[in-house]
Structure 1
Amino acid sequence: MEAYSHNLFNIQAVIILHPVPTMESIIRVVFRKFNFHKESGLLQFWACNTDPHSEEIGCNLVLTYLTCNPTQDQGLEDYRKRCLEKQYPFVGIGTSVGNWLAGRAAQTGIADHRTKHHVLDHEDQHSRDIGARGQLALPVFINKGAGVKLVGIIELVTTERKESYIQDFEQIHGILQDAGLQSTYMGKTIKVVHDGHMIKFKLPLSAKFTDLHTEVTMRFIKLQHQIYRVEYYNTEGIRISISSDENLQICMAESSSRGAKFIKMFVSVEQGE
């Protein structure tokens, strides 16, 4: 019989561990990739801190050292300095955040902007701090089990107010998605009153007239078999019927110009002959 020799091999498994990106590193990437298009602008990040032992729903927004001001505009640096020096309230469901756009974005979960069409209902310290500058604030979320969790607010401030910040929002939104984070659309919270009841839902600024009616009839089932109008009060206190995409866009624009957190609408049912 032939003798066989067996070679013994030591097999070693090499496991390469890739570090999990931290929120800080992700936000740095977002700021680095954002294109200011050679215009002056400031990006800063508000972290959402929650107390695990508290029963209150909401968070404290803390302005972090994560910032980007490529042109080193002094006016924008002065604004940031005032933000760092201020004490901000806990942002809960019923907290009055006034004209503090970052607080409003945290409270509603919806991005919002301050454009050249913005008209203040009232002046407060937040509006005095921002002055004539333009602003965009959008919430940042991470996937958390079956849902999402708010981790902070990205704020963009420009030296002059723009016609719209939708393009800036879409740019940041895309970068966040590439980094595995989420944000919401730019839109408004809608409250609709009918027959002694109130419903609430969110509509993007790009919503159509049919989207509004779909949301209303989904919640007020009886309206599916009735002819009705959705109305609102404009800035002059006149009750206006929303009957087209253009009407809805005017309604949304007026709300944004006033810095309102929500739009209150009413259902008017047409009576049969």
Structure 2
Amino acid sequence: MEAMNSDNHFNIMLVIVCQLVPEIESVLREMFGKFNFREESGLLQFWACRTDPDSEEIGCNLVLTHLTCNPTQDLGLEDYRKRCLEKQYPFIGIETCVGNWLAGRAVQTGIADHRTIHHVVDQDDQHSVDVGARGQLVLPVFFDDSAENKLAGVIEYVTNVRKESYVEDFEQFHNLLKDKGLKSTYMGKTIKVVYDGDMIKFRLPLSAKFTDMLREVTKRFTGLENTKFRVEYVDKNGVCLPISSDEVLQICMKDSSLKGANFIKMHVYLEHIVF
């Protein structure tokens, strides 16, 4: 990704700080103060979304703000934050390649994501190298009074040790945001489904059931409503496997996290009935 020059970076930081006072800053400070780290080391920081009112492009610049919380003053986590502050991130649009930068991905998808023990570090991706063995949860935050889901920014939670899941932490953030003028969406994955030469895209929560996935598929491929079909995905070993239950769908979700994929690609095949 191309870096912005220092003057532009300074101007963006100045605008962001002004925008955070007082509406967002007071809410986030209160939230960071109430967050339960469960007596473990952790870092909270906020990436603010800055949009150019004169630009016709869809997206925003993400800039790391001064809002942070590292209650144990862990030096490793402080080092990670310094690395983030040294970077000058460009405009994040719908098609921008963000690699494994979860905060940038959250801007594009609008859904929360996490880096767990199932994730494999990509040594060719700089952000994966910066994060190292640490775990992450990113949570896009929207203005609650906006019907268009206007993005305020992204909360990033970093831990020294990767967890099996960050769902409980996500739910804690979700509850802290209630009635504060801000809101979040859910933790999930972007799903791309190919059928008969066409491709659809939708989002599924990590808690989604097999029937939820089928409902989303038939909602978009209406010709499948009264047809017998199967949905397959490619697992981490490159094998095509049918998704036929809640358990298999959850395995599919975990495989996606393991590969650090931006999305899960599935294929629909018609079942041939033999008389």
TM-score by length of 1: 0.90
CA distance in 2, matches of 1:121, 1:161: 15
3-state secondary structure, aligned to 2:136: strand
Q: Does 1:99 align with 2:104?
A: no
Count residues with an aligned counterpart: 254
* 1:220 corresponding residue in structure 2: 221
- Inter-CA distance 121–223: structure 2 relative to 1 (3 Å threshold): farther
What letter corresponds to residue 97 of structure 1 in structure 2? V
Displacement of 1:258 after TM fit? 1.4
3-state secondary structure, aligned to 1:64: strand
* 1:171 corresponding residue in structure 2: 172
CA distance in 1, matches of 2:218, 2:242: 17
* 1:60 corresponding residue in structure 2: 61
Displacement of 1:143 after TM fit? 3.1
CA distance in 2, matches of 1:146, 1:103: 22
3-state secondary structure, aligned to 1:167: helix
RMSD: 1.3
- Inter-CA distance 121–72: structure 2 relative to 1 (3 Å threshold): closer
Answer yes or no: is the 8 Å Cα contact 2:111–2:188 preserved in 1: yes
What letter corresponds to residue 97 of structure 2 in structure 1? S
Displacement of 1:121 after TM fit? 5.0
Q: Does 1:141 align with 2:142?
A: yes
* 1:272 corresponding residue in structure 2: 273
* 1:16 corresponding residue in structure 2: none
CA distance in 2, matches of 1:149, 1:99: 23
Alignment of 1:116-135 (within 5 A): 116-121=117-122, 123-135=124-136
CA distance in 2, matches of 1:161, 1:24: 28
Answer yes or no: is the 8 Å Cα contact 2:135–2:158 preserved in 1: yes
* 2:38 corresponding residue in structure 1: 37
Displacement of 1:144 after TM fit? 4.6
Query: What are structure 1's unaligned runs of at least 5 residues?
Result: 1-19
- Inter-CA distance 121–270: structure 2 relative to 1 (3 Å threshold): farther
What letter corresponds to residue 80 of structure 1 in structure 2? R
Answer yes or no: is the 8 Å Cα contact 2:145–2:181 preserved in 1: no
CA distance in 2, matches of 1:259, 1:93: 18
Deviates more, 1:69-78 or 1:119-128: 119-128
CA distance in 2, matches of 1:133, 1:123: 17
Answer yes or no: is the 8 Å Cα contact 2:45–2:68 preserved in 1: yes
CA distance in 1, matches of 2:207, 2:120: 21
* 1:72 corresponding residue in structure 2: 73
Q: Deviations over 1:113-147 (max 9, x none)?
A: 01111114553110111111111001000035432
What letter corresponds to residue 190 of structure 1 in structure 2? I
Query: What are structure 2's unaligned runs of at least 5 residues?
Result: 1-20
Displacement of 1:225 after TM fit? 1.0
CA distance in 2, matches of 1:110, 1:41: 21
CA distance in 2, matches of 1:166, 1:146: 26
Larger Rg: 1
Displacement of 1:271 after TM fit? 1.8
Identical counterparts, % of pairs: 70
CA distance in 1, matches of 2:94, 2:236: 26
CA distance in 1, matches of 2:249, 2:118: 17
* 1:14 corresponding residue in structure 2: none
What letter corresponds to residue 239 of structure 2 in structure 1? I
